[in-house]
Amino acid sequence: MFYELRIMTTSSVSKGCFVFKPSTKKKKTSLTVADYFNEGLKDSEDGKKRFESCQLLWQQMKSQTEQLQEELNKRLFENLIGFLRKSHADFHDKKDDWSCRMRASEIPTAALVLGVNVTDHDLTFNSLADILHETITPYVVLLQSKECPGIKQLLQKLLIQLMGNTADIELDEEEEQVTISQRKMNCSLASLSGWYKRATKKPASPKKKRSSTSTHWESPPVVVIFKDLESFTASVLQEFIVISSGYVQELPLVLVFGIATSPMIIHRLLSHSVSSRLCIELFQSMSCTEHLATVVDQLLLTNHFPFKLSGRALQVLITIFLYHDFSVQNFIKGLQLSVVEHFYTQPLSVLCCSLPESRKRIKNLSHAQCENIRHLSSFMSYVESQTPENQVKLLTNDSFLKEMTQEFLERLTSYHENFTPILRCLHHFTCILPKYPLGKQVRELYCACLEKKVWETEDYNSALLLLRMLAKDEIVTTLQKCVAVLTPYSEKELGHTLEKLEEFLIHFQSLEENTLNGEDEDTSPQKALQKKTDLYQLQKKLLEMKETRRAKKLTKFEMLRQDVVDFIDCIVREYLVPPEMLPLHEVVYFSAASTLRRHLNAAPRVALHTALNNPASYLKTLENEAGSVSNVAPDICIAYKLHLECGRLINLYDWLEAFSTVVHAGEGSDSDSAQQVDEVTHARFIRAVSELELLGFVKPTKQKTDHVARLTWGGC
């Protein structure tokens, strides 16, 4: 780790040099992304095509996620825009109204609760700003806490952003007005309101006709967005609000508080006298778990994209989301990483494209690629299940293999086509069960089905048991939902599944009609019960009834229910086979979960400890030296290992002696050990210790001058 650190600093130094040396800079920039992609490929088969498919696929996925994001934010933004529209309605008409005069002039404020996934907020705010720009007002300011340590900086930021804005609007005329010298100007709200008066007066002149400004009002509100309210200093906020509340009459200010936790933070940050100057309304965005559910639903549970995640890989991404950051952006980043990794490491990913395209590509496969196919484990297990002559053909005949490959890919595509709808149907059934044995969300069920044969799991069987106890109306509504899911597939393979489900529905309906006609069958024992009044007789009858009920033939409804559940079980076994069972699934499934975990959930402490404790794991020259402290290891490693054995306070002299012993261990002459430590060893020791101090393992202590204190406990 320490070596890495050194490398990092040198690279930053060299970056500094690039500014002065254009030649090296040029060299750097001339490498394109594609070059980087190809350069590192271990198996460079079809590198260019793989890169292109990778780029294309990711472009498509990205635009899909962006579209999704937009739709998800739509409702929230509409509400907000509605609020902004009416917030300063009184600014326009009822200025002189009595009640308006009497009321304290409050600043309209939208408290926007966005959830703790702070990394996602930037995107939301940017699109919010864009939408506001388009629909309500050209005056939108985004403020971030770290730019505003004091009221002065806050006002500066505010004024610069606003006055800079008009520069775009009034580009065509009077350019001398546009450049307001920031230095001379007083950064105060008085200046701002003066500027506002002037800026809004202008568009009234008939000369101006701009499509963007025409949708705005005559006096559009000035929207100030505090992106991360929690991190703002309370005093800065309070001062800003107190100052600006004095200007509401002249300047239609609207605040938007971006809140990650809960709106209670407003009361914690602002005193009553300040919060009483605000007119706060609450807006809540969709919770991030719902957001993730939609992303999974629209991005992974569709057949728009040839690329798929294996159960394990998906689990890693979901775990990071649920356990660590709640960030949809990071989830999508993880997905992107999987896409890139897949195309980068899997030579056969060249076939991960649309079916017609893959047909062409299969034809052009090289012999080496055919060999790659033969080495796939899924292919090998397929070969084993074949007749001997077929086996030979598969293993030796390239063109036959290509034919088969084509067939495998087609089979994979149709497998996916059936998989998702059936999965959704099963989910409709399991998500109404008590305690959700197969998960509440469709993604949980999806993971389960990807990983193993779901019908062999305990959860599945308990779910089936519960399904056999469903009430009629529940079954009927769920069946209807399933029919809706399957309707688009009526022309395809799933057509007869759909027919079967519709048939069930008809049966249920006729059942209903029957029971309406003849109810006597079911109620007769009860009627008999009412007649008996003798206690002994009654008990006897009750016992009888219990027995008959157990042995009794199932009612029609129960039989039908049985049939439905059996049918569901049957289609699950048919269509929800885990992908690992299919030959050539490696082409479209990315399964390197450990790579993902290593990249996305790094463990710096562990890495540091491994590097220092066992340098052989990083330095290949030391490989045979594993285990005990050896004198060829870097000095810092020796010092580190020795310090692990110490308590909270380490005596420097003892440490030095131990260090010297280890360093000179190879020299054999044990008579020297009692001798004075030589200067070189001393210097090496001091350097090692100061390196440890830099890394935060030890620090000098005032308790004892010749000691240092350990800052870490345990191994890592």
How many residues does this entry show for the chain?
716
Among 43, 239, 297, 563, binds another protein (CB under 8 A): 239
Binding mask 54-83 for another protein (x = CB under 8 A): ------------------------------
Site for another protein in 318-347 (CB under 8 A): 320-326
437 vs 392: CA distance, rounded Å: 46
**Interface residue with another protein, options 41, 160, 180, 432 (CB under 8 A):** 180
Please select the residue that binds another protein; options are 79, 135, 188, 595, rule is CB under 8 A: 188
Q: What is the dihedral of CA 314, 316, 319, 324, to 10 degrees?
A: -130
- Residue 169 burial class via C-beta count within 10 angstroms: exposed 0-12, middle 13-18, buried 19 and up: middle
- Cα 464 from Cα 462, distance rounded (Å): 5
189 binds another protein (CB under 8 A): yes
**Rule CB under 8 A: which of 563-622 touch another protein?**
601-606
Instruction: Count CA atoms within 13 Å of residue 190 on its CB side.
Output: 2
Stretch 367-426 residues interacting with another protein (CB under 8 A) = none
The distance of closest approach from Cβ of residue 151 to another protein in the complex, given in angstroms and rounded to an integer, is 5
Q: Which parts of 491-550 interact with another protein (CB under 8 A)?
A: none
Q: Which of 34, 41, 116, 340 binds another protein (CB under 8 A)?
A: 116
Question: With binding defined as CB under 8 A, does residue 439 bind another protein?
Answer: no
Options 41, 169, 280, 677; binder of another protein; rule CB under 8 A: 280
Residues 644-703 that bind another protein (CB under 8 A): 696, 699
206 DSSP 8-state letter: T
CA distance linking residue 388 with residue 676, whole number of Å: 77
Least distance in Å: CB of 100 to another protein? 8
User: From the CB of 259, what's the least distance to another protein, in Å?
Assistant: 10
Residue among 261 and 509 whose Cβ is closer to another protein: 261
Helices 472-486 and 495-517, packing angle to 10 deg? 150
Span near another protein by CB under 8 A; candidates 194-202, 215-223, 499-507, 672-680: 194-202
Tokens linked to 639: 């010092």
- Cβ distance to another protein smaller for residue 167 or 602: 602
Task: Give start and end residues of each alpha helix (H) in 2-44.
Answer: 2-18, 22-30, 33-39
Residues numbered 286-305 forming contacts with another protein, rule: CB under 8 A:
287-289
Indicate the pairing of strand 222-226 with strand 140-143.
Answer: parallel
Q: Using CB under 8 A, which of the segments 96-104, 559-567, 569-577, 640-648 binds another protein?
A: 96-104
Q: How far is the CB of 272 from another protein (least distance, A)?
A: 7
Stretch near another protein under the rule CB under 8 A, chosen from 52-60, 256-264, 545-553, 569-577: 256-264
Q: Which of 13, 19, 102, 680 binds another protein (CB under 8 A)?
A: 102
Q: Return d(Cα 689, Cα 620) in angstroms, integer.
A: 24
Minimum separation from the CB atom of position 680 to another protein (A): 28
Nearest distance from C-beta of residue 636 to another protein, angstroms: 16
User: Pick from 147, 182, 179: which is nearest to 166 by CA?
Assistant: 179
Q: Of 424, 428, 368, 431, give the one whose Cα is nearest residue 401.
A: 368
In this structure, what token pair is assigned to residue 272?
Answer: 């009553």
For another protein, which stretch binds (CB under 8 A), given 18-26, 184-192, 440-448, 624-632?
184-192
Separation of first and last alpha carbons in the chain:
14
Q: Among residues 526 and 703, whose Cβ is nearest to another protein?
A: 703
Would you list the DSSP string of 368-427? HHHHHHHH-HHHHHHHHTS-HHHHHHHHH-HHHHHHHHHHHHHHHHHHHHHHHHHHHHHH
| Choices 279-287, 542-550, 628-636, 677-685; region in contact with another protein by CB under 8 A | 279-287
Instruction: Give the shortest CB-376-to-another protein separation in angstroms.
Output: 32
Stretch of 149-157, 476-484, 518-526, 617-625 lying at the interface with another protein (CB under 8 A): 149-157
Binding status of residue 272 toward another protein by CB under 8 A: yes
Site for another protein in 150-179 (CB under 8 A): 150-152, 177
192's enclosing H/E stretch is helix 189-201
Residue of 278, 365, 587, 658 interacting with another protein (CB under 8 A):
278
Instruction: Please select the residue that binds another protein; options are 41, 118, 511, 644, rule is CB under 8 A.
Output: 118
* Residues paired with 282 in a beta bridge: 111
Residue (226 or 343) nearer to another protein, CB: 226
Residue 165 identity? N
d(CA 412, CA 410): 5
Name the minimum Å distance from CB 199 to another protein: 9
Assess 1 for contact with another protein (CB under 8 A). Answer: no
* Binding of another protein by 8 (CB under 8 A): no
* Cβ at position 114, least distance to another protein in Å: 11
| Sheet containing 278-284: order of strands | 140-143, 222-226, 253-259, 107-113, 278-284
* Residue with smaller CB distance to another protein, 625 or 693: 693
- Whole-number minimum distance, CB 444 to another protein, in Å? 15
Q: Is 186 in the site for another protein (CB under 8 A)?
A: yes
Which of 202, 47, 57, 67 is closest to 127 using CA atoms?
Answer: 67
d(CA 106, CA 274): 10
Which of these, 363, 426, 368, 391, lies nearest to 569 by C-alpha position?
426
Longest dimension (CA), the chain: 111
> 621: number of CA atoms within 13 Å, CB side?
4
Shortest CB 266 distance to another protein, Å: 7
26 touches another protein by CB under 8 A: no
Number of residues binding to another protein, judged by CB under 8 A: 78
Nearer to another protein, 201 or 573 (CB): 201
Q: Which of 276, 381, 524, 675 binds another protein (CB under 8 A)?
A: 276
Comparing CB distances to another protein, the nearer of 88 and 585 is 88
Q: Which long-range contacts link 355-362 to residues 24+ away (Cβ below 8 Å)?
A: 355/409, 355/410, 355/413, 358/406, 358/409, 359/406, 361/46, 361/49, 362/402, 362/405, 362/406, 362/409
